[in-house]
Amino acid sequence: MLLLGAVLLLLALPSHGQETIEGPEVLLPMPKGACAGWMAGIPGHPGHNGTPGRDGRDGTPGEKGEKGDPGFAGPKGDTGETGVTGVEGSRGFPGIPGRKGEPGESAYVYRSAFSVGLETRVTIPNIPIRFTKIFYNQQNHYDDTTGKFYCNIPGLYYFSYHITVYLKDVKVSLYKKDKAMLFTYDQFQDKNVDQASGSVLLYLEKGDQVWLQVYGDGENNGVYADNVHDSTFTGFLLYHDIE
């Protein structure tokens, strides 16, 4: 009996060319040429798991998905460094004119001026010449009773005079506060009418007086005027002192 069991066991083992199927409760294939009534052997134990195989090839990229919803805004970043100044651009077109401004307060205009002439040839040396022929004296800053200009507005003034010279030599001077500021001398030419003139800029303070007078004795008193010859004295404010 032992011999018979060993023979049957050998017949039950698979041959080298026969494939086996692993797995629980799998019946062994019948050997070729075996009898229909043979008895199968006891199933063997399951084999050990094999080593994992290599990764397969990457699959084909799928279709592009739909656009997702916008994400939440991130926190504000730090202020960056100031960039380099760019190249100056081309000049733009003129803008639209702005609206007309409100009328401003009118500035006060300071006025002081006079222009007078001599009506008589009678003049007295060393006192103010009285020019009584008034061309302009709207502010009444010139007094024709004294022949003096009285400063009412401090500032810079321009004065000028044009004297007709006849019969004698002329030497006149322009005075400011009892001080001679300008001299003019003209020598009379026999039987000829001559002209002498002078002009000056003077800074005056309020209350200062300016006048014209014959300087010296009567030998230099050739100031003359008639209906066709004039001797004039003029002065006016250039700009007032704002202080």
Is the dihedral angle over the CA atoms 202, 205, 206, 212 positive or is it negative?
negative
What is the mean pLDDT of the segment spanning 1-25? 54
The rounded mean pLDDT for the chain is 82
How confident is the model at residue 47, as a pLDDT?
80
Q: Hey, what amino acid is at 229?
A: H
Q: Going by C-beta distance under 8 Å and a sequence separation of 6 or more, which residues neighbour residue 23?
A: 46
* pLDDT digits 0-9 by tens, 210-242: 999 988 777 777 788 888 888 999 999 999 987
Distance CA 134, CA 142 (A): 10
pLDDT at 133 over 90: yes
Contact 151, 141 (CB under 8 A): yes
pLDDT at 189 over 90: no
* pLDDT digits 0-9 by tens, 44-87: 888 888 888 888 888 888 888 888 888 888 888 888 888 888 88
How confident is the model at residue 85, as a pLDDT?
87
More confident residue, 12 or 153: 153
- 20-34, 87-101, 152-166, range with greatest mean pLDDT: 152-166
